[in-house]
């Protein structure tokens, strides 16, 4: 195995694989209905990487140091026979952690058990409010929070733990849900993670004024509970960890806007059509599907992937102001979160 590093000596350790650009939610901060309505053209199936292609690229990535795979979408559980793919990925030498991010709408008891049996270690679910009316307004399909809570229970029962719950906080939308979410998940064993509203893509109308910062989240939680900072579990971890002083569990805060963590980022993202992005806020991905389907050998693909990572100099969040200005007026906007999975 070779460990490949970029221009800032950051190793390639995590690969996030988008299985589809489709989702059955229309969350206002990710796939707003006015842009992803009934007339929106999603990718045709023939353009998606098939399971052989995904497995091959994951195997090559593992040879370069990748240890963790995260399966995303869109909504990854919309991809047919996903458990077959997971079993193949779990058999790759060097891969020791497979995670899946889902909105929970399709995570039944049976599906959770199937995912565990196939090789998923743990899942992260998205839930942006505990109040049904607030959550229905955010997902814009009328899906109640109560059903996501059932999916969380299904994940816990299947052993897909530790279960994490991601909650994107947007000022004027759901900042009043911070304390209700905290109260619900205390003593549950679930790790609740608050995420600053990010300028991923160009469709969510991001404005800095709508960002509820990590500091504000901490101050809000501390109006009710004493919490203390914990050290990171591993280098490059995305969330700042906080523990309840009374032993009720922990929460995380992903502060990529107010407290960028580019310096420890070890993540690459593979889109559903085989484009490799080296930053969540990237504009252009590198096409891996064409060489895959044009007869490239494993060695050639390995050299291509290694070369992309070795040339990487991304640190968008640390340079957000100047990067935003530099890209202003650029016809090529940042890639959408629904396309590469966040």
Query: Which residues fall in the annotated binding site?
Result: 16, 23, 27, 29-30, 70, 74, 101, 126, 164, 198, 262, 265, 267-269, 279
Cis ω before 162 (30° cut-off from 0): yes
Residues tagged in the binding site annotation for S-adenosyl-L-methionine: 29, 74, 126, 198
Residue 159 makes CB contacts below 8 A (sequence gap 6+) with: 116
Say which residue the tokens 């009710």 belong to.
224
Residue 8 makes CB contacts below 8 A (sequence gap 6+) with: 263, 312, 313, 315
Strands 267-270 and 275-277: antiparallel
Q: Give the helix/strand (H/E) hosting 272.
A: none
CB atoms within 10 A of CB 313: 10
Residues tagged in the binding site annotation for GTP: 16, 70, 101, 164, 267-269
Q: How many residues are listed for the chain in this entry?
A: 342
Tell me the three state secondary structure of residue 124: strand
Residues tagged in the binding site annotation for [4Fe-4S] cluster: 23, 27, 30, 262, 265, 279
Q: Structure tokens of 84?
A: 């077959």
| DSSP code at position 145 | H
Residue 82 makes CB contacts below 8 A (sequence gap 6+) with: 19, 71, 76, 115
């Amino acid at each position: 195995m070779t460990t490949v590093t970029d221009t800032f000596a950051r190793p390639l350790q995590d690969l996030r694989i988008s299985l589809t650009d489709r989702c059955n939610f229309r969350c206002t901060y990710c796939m707003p209905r006015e842009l992803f309505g009934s007339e929106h053209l999603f990718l045709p199936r023939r353009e998606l990487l098939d399971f052989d292609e995904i497995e091959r690229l994951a195997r090559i990535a593992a040879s370069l140091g990748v240890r963790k795979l995260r399966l995303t979408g869109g909504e990854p559980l919309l991809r047919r026979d996903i458990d077959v793919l997971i079993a193949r990925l779990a058999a790759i030498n060097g891969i020791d952690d497979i995670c899946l991010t889902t909105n929970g709408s399709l995570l039944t008891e049976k599906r959770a058990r199937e995912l565990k049996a196939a090789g998923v270690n743990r899942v992260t679910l998205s839930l942006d409010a505990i109040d049904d009316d607030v959550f229905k307004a955010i997902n814009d399909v009328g899906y109640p929070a109560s059903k996501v809570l059932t999916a969380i229970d299904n994940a816990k029962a299947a052993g897909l733990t530790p279960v994490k719950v991601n909650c994107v906080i947007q000022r004027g939308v759901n900042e009043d849900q911070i304390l209700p979410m905290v109260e619900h998940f205390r003593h549950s064993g679930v790790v609740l993670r608050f995420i600053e509203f990010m300028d991923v893509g160009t469709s969510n109308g991001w404005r800095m004024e709508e960002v509820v910062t990590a500091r504000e989240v901490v101050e809000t939680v501390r109006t009710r509970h004493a919490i203390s900072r914990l050290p990171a579990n591993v280098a490059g971890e995305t969330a700042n960890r906080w523990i309840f002083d009374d032993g009720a569990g922990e929460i995380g805060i992903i502060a990529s806007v107010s407290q960028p963590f580019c310096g420890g980022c070890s993540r690459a993202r593979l889109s559903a059509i085989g484009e490799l992005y080296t930053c969540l806020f990237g504009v252009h991905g590198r096409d891996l599907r064409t060489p895959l389907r044009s007869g490239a050998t494993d060695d050639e693909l390995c050299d291509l992937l290694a070369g992309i990572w070795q040339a990487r100099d991304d640190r968008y969040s640390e340079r957000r102001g100047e990067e935003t200005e530099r890209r202003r007026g650029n016809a090529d906007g940042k890639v959408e979160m629904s396309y590469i999975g966040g």
